[in-house]
Structure 1
Amino acid sequence: MSTVIERPSLWLRLKPLFVGYDFWLIAAILLLAGAGMVTMYSAGFDHGTRFVDHGRNMMLAAGLLLVVAQVPPQRLMALALPIYAIGVALLLATALFGITKKGATRWLDLGIVIQPSEILKIGMPLMMAWWFQKREGQLRAFDFAVGALILAVPVGLVMKQPDLGTAILILSGGLYVMFFAGLSWRLILPVLAVGVVGVTALVLSEDAICQPDVVWYVLREYQKHRVCTLLDPTQDPLGKGFHIIQGMIAIGSGGIHGKGFMNGTQTHLEFIPERTTDFIFAAFSEEFGLAGVVGLLLGFVFLLFRGLIIAAEAPTLFSRLLAGALSLSIFTYCFVNMGMVSGILPVVGVPLPFISYGGTAMVTMGLGLGILMSIAKSRRMMQS
C-alpha cells in the first residue's frame, strides 16, 4: 500500500514571507515615509517630477526591504567578505578609470554609471561585523588594529575622490561596529579629545584660518571654504554662505507652528538651494515649525531605539554588531544633515533619511532596514 504524502497548502508555503516582521519598526518606517512624501509634495511642487519619483524610489526601497528581510543573517554573513571585496575593487577602478564631474571622481561606467562608494555604506558594517564574529571570544588589541585597517582602506579611497559626506558615513558605520565589539573607552576618549581640541582651535583662530594668505595644508580647498563658511557665513552671503544663511532663515521663520503646508515663502520663492535634497529639512521646518520638527525628531528617535532593541535581542554577535551599527548610522545621517542645515556643521552631501530626494540614498536605506528586519525576523522565527 503506497503512502500518500500531502503537499502543504499554498498558504503554509507562503506564510514565512508574511510573518515575523517587527511591527514597531514597520510603523516607524511608514510614519517617516509619509512625512517624506508630504514634504516632497510641497518642496518639489514646481520642481518637475520629484514627488512622483520620490514615491517610486520609496516603493523600490520597500521592495528591497521585503526581499532582504527574507535572507537569514547567516547568509548575510557569508556575503560580507565578497561585498566588501567588490566594493573596494570598484573604488580602485574608480580611482583609475572613473568619471570626473565638478572636480570629483566618484562614478564608474560599467554600462550603467554607478557610484561604488554607496556599496560600502552597507558593505562596511557587514564586513566589520563578520570580522569580529570570527574573532569572538579571543578579541585582542591586534584584532581592533586589523579592523581599523579594514576600515581605513575604503575611507581613504573615498576621501581621495573626494567625497567627505560618504566617507563620514562609511567611517561611522565601521566605528560603531568596533564600539559595540568592545573597543575600550581608553582608546576612544583620546580621539574625541583630539577632535574637540581641533575644533576649538579652529574657532579660536577663525580670522587667521580664513585669510587668503594662510596655507591650510590638511584640507582641500573646497573643505577650507566649508569650514570658513561655517564659522562666518556672512563673509560670502551671496556665494558660499548662501546655503547656510537661507537655511537658517527658513528654520527661524517657521516659528512654533510653522507657516503651514505649501505656504513656505523661502521654499516656494526658491531662496532655499537644493530644497528637495540636502536642504529639505529647512523647507520642512519653515512649513511645520518647531512642533513639526519635534515630531520628526521623535520619529527618528523611535526608529533608532527600535533598531537598538533589535540589536540587543539578536541571537548572535554578528547580528548584534550589524543591527547596532545600522541603527546608529541612521542617527549619523540625521545628525549630519540637520546640523549642516542649521549651521552647526559644515555643508556636506548627506541626505535626510526618507525626506530627501535621491534614488541611491533610498535604496541604501531600504537595504539597511531590510537587514534590520531580517535580524528581527530570524529571532522571532527561532522563538516560534
Structure 2
Amino acid sequence: MLAVFKNLKGDKAIWGVVALLALFSFLPVYSASTNLVYVNDDGTTIGHLVKHAVLLFLGFGIIYAIHRIPTHYFKGLSIIALPIVLILLAYTLTVETKIGGVTANRWIKLPFVGVNFQTSTLASVVLMIWIARYLTKIKDVAITFKESILPLWLPTVLVVLLILPENFSTAAIICFLVLVLCFLGGYPLKYLFAIVGTGIVLSGMFLFVLFKTPEVLPQRAGTWKSRIETFWSPEKAGKDDLHQLTLAKIAIAEGGVVGKGAGKSVMKNMLSQSTSDFIFAIIIEEYGLLGGGALLFFYLLLLFRIVVVANSAKTIFSKLLVIGVGLPIVFQAFINMAVVVQLFPVTGQPLPLISMGGTSIWMTCMAIGIILSASNKKENLEEESYDINESNPLEVLSGQL
C-alpha cells in the first residue's frame, strides 16, 4: 500500500479534493439509500453503501491506472476510441433498460459483471480528447469551416445526435462544452458565432415543434416539455411535475444554516432520486447551508486547480485536454446544484463523486486521471520533447502505441 502512495503522481491538491469528496459521499449516500430500501424495496442500506464503496474503489483504481499514462498517448487512443464509442451509442439506442424506476435506452449491461453502463458519459470524455487533439493540430494553421467539417464537426454531430433522443440534457451540455473548448483552442470566432447563431435558430424551431406537435419527436419529448414548463411557468405546471422540486425546496428550508445532522433527513424518504439527482438537497437538509457551501467550495477549489494545471502544462494539447475533460466535472456539479435550488430545469445530472452510480463515478475518475497525467511534471517534460507528424493517423498510432 505504501508503494502505491509513493507512486502517486501529479497535482496533490487534486488528489486531496477528490479523496475528500469521495469520503464525504459515504454519509449522504448511506442516509439517502433508505429511500431505495423502504420505498422501492431495493436491497439494504449496508448493501448500497458497500456497492458505493466498491464503485469508488474501482474508480480510484481507474485514476491510478490512467494517471500513469503519458499525456500524449491520449491522442492516439482517441483515434481508436471514437469509432468504438459511436458504435456503442448506436447499440445503446436499441437496448431498453430500467434503472431506478426509469425506463430508457441509455444503458448497456456489461458482460460478465452485470453492471449497467451509460455510454454517453464515456462518449463525452472521448469526444473532448478528440477535439483537443484536433485543435492542437490546427493551432498554427489558418483553416476554413469546410476543412473542419469532417475532422471536428462531423464526430461532434454524430455523438450528439446519438445521445439526444434519450438524454437531451447530456447532449446539450456536450454541445456547450465543445463550443467552449473550441473557443479556448483558438478556433476561428467567425465560424463559432455562425454555429451559435444557427444553433439558436434550430433551438427555436425545436421548441416550436416541441410545444405544438410533440408527438413527432422522440418518446421522451413529453418529459422535456414538462420540465421546461415546470421551470418557466411553475404556476401552470401539473402537481406531479412540481412534486420533486417542492420536496427539494422543503429539504433545503428544513436544513437551515447548520442542518439537522447526519442521517436525520426526512425528505430522503419522499424525494425520489435522493441518492443521485437530488442528493444535494439531502446534503443541505442534514448539513445545512454550511455543509452545502463547503461542498461548493471544494468544487470551486477543484476548478481552480484544473485551471492551474492547464496553465502550467507545457504543450497546447495538455492545456486543452485538461480543460476539455476537467471543466465538465465542475460544470455538471454546478448544474446539479442549480437544479435543486430551481435555477435550472431538471436535467438528471448526478453530483460528481457524491451521487450513487457506477458510470458517473468511473468516467469522472477517468477524467481526473487524465488531468493528473497532464499535471505530472516529468511527463510534461517528456511530452514537450515529443514531436510527431499527426497528419497521418497511422503515424500517430505507430508513434504512440
Decide whether the 8 Å contact of 2:70 with 2:379 is kept in 1. no
Report the equivalent of 1:72: 70
The letter for the 2-side match of 1:181 is G
1:303 maps to 302
User: How much is the aligned-residue C-alpha RMSD, in angstroms?
Assistant: 3.2
2:367 aligns with 368
Residue matched to 1:167 = 171
Alpha-carbon contact 1:20-1:377 (below 8 Å) kept:
yes
- Using a 3 Å threshold, how does the CA distance of structure 1 residues 187 and 106 change in structure 2: closer, same or farther? same
Where 2:356 maps in the other structure, the secondary structure is coil
Query: 2:9 is matched by which residue type in structure 1?
Result: G
- What residue number does 2:388 align with? none
Instruction: Out of 219-228 and 41-50, give the one that drifted further.
Output: 41-50
State the secondary structure of the residue aligned to 1:240: helix
Query: The residue matched to 2:376 in structure 1 has which SS?
Result: helix
2:131 aligned partner: 128
* Alpha-carbon shift at residue 196 of structure 1 (Å): 8.7
**Kept after mapping to 1: 8 A contact 2:14/2:305:** yes
TM-fit CA distance, 1:346? 1.7
Structure 1 contact 121–364 (Cα < 8 Å) conserved = no
Deviation at 1:273, TM superposition (A): 1.4
Counterparts of 1:60 and 1:40 in 2: how far apart (Å)?
A: 17
Offset at residue 176 of structure 1 (A): 3.3
Does residue 98 of the first structure (1) align with residue 95 of the second (2)? yes
| Aligned-pair CA distance for 1:108 | 4.0
Check whether the contact 1:20–1:380 (CA below 8 A) recurs between aligned residues: no
Q: Which whole-Å deviations, capped at 9, do the CAs of 1:170-229 have from their partners, x for residues lacking one?
A: 3344333212211355555677788899999999x9xxx97xxx4457782221111112
User: Which position in structure 2 is the counterpart of 1:359?
Assistant: 358
- Structure 1: which 5+ residue stretches go unaligned? 1-10
Q: Which structure's CA Rg is the greater one?
A: 1
Q: 2:23 aligns with which of 28, 34, 42?
A: 34
Aligned: 1:140 with 2:129: no
Counterpart secondary structure, 1:153: helix
Contact 1:87/1:119 (8 A) holds in 2: yes
8 Å Cα contact 2:318-2:374 kept in structure 1 = yes
Give the Cα–Cα distance (whole angstroms) in 2 for the partners of residues 107 and 21 of structure 1.
Answer: 32
- Please state if 1:18 is matched with 2:10: no
Counterparts of 1:104 and 1:20, CA distance in 2:
39
Is residue 280 of structure 2 the alignment partner of residue 281 of structure 1? yes
- Residues 340 and 309 of structure 1, relative CA distance in 2, 3 Å threshold: same
Q: 1:238 to 1:98 in 2, by over 3 A?
A: same
* Secondary structure at 2:106 match in 1: strand
CA distance in 2, matches of 1:78, 1:22: 24
**Aligned position for 2:387:** none
From the superposition, tell whether residues 339 and 177 of structure 1 become closer, same or farther in structure 2 (CA, over 3 Å).
same
Q: Which of 176, 179, 182 lines up with 2:183 in the alignment?
A: 179
1:360 deviation in Å? 0.8
Deviation at 1:98, TM superposition (A): 2.8
Distance 1:153 1:83 in 2: 14
TM-score by length of 1: 0.83
SS at match of 2:105: strand
In 2, Cα distance between equivalents of 1:17 and 1:134? 35
TM-score under structure 2 length normalisation = 0.79
Shift of 1:42: 2.0
Q: Is the 8 A contact 2:32 2:274 kept in 1?
A: yes
Answering whether residue 154 of structure 2 is matched by residue 149 of structure 1, we say yes
Aligned equivalents of 1:19, 1:261: Cα separation in 2: 32
- One-letter code of the match for 2:55? N
Match of 1:291 in 2: 290
Q: Share of identical aligned residues, percent?
A: 26
Letter in structure 2 aligned against 1:347: V
CA shift, 1:33, in A, is 1.5
Per the TM alignment, residue 333 of structure 1 is displaced from its structure 2 partner at its CA by: 0.7
Tell me the residue number matched to 2:54: 56
**Which residue of 2 is the match for residue 3 of structure 1?**
none
- Give the unaligned 5+ runs of structure 2: 38-43, 383-401
* C-alpha contact (below 8 Å) 1:98/1:109 kept by paired residues: no
Equivalent-residue separation in structure 1 for 2:103 and 2:33 (angstroms): 28
User: Take 1:200 and 1:156, find their aligned partners in 2: how far apart are those partners?
Assistant: 17
What is the CA–CA distance in structure 1 between the aligned matches of 2:323 and 2:95, rounded to whole Å?
33
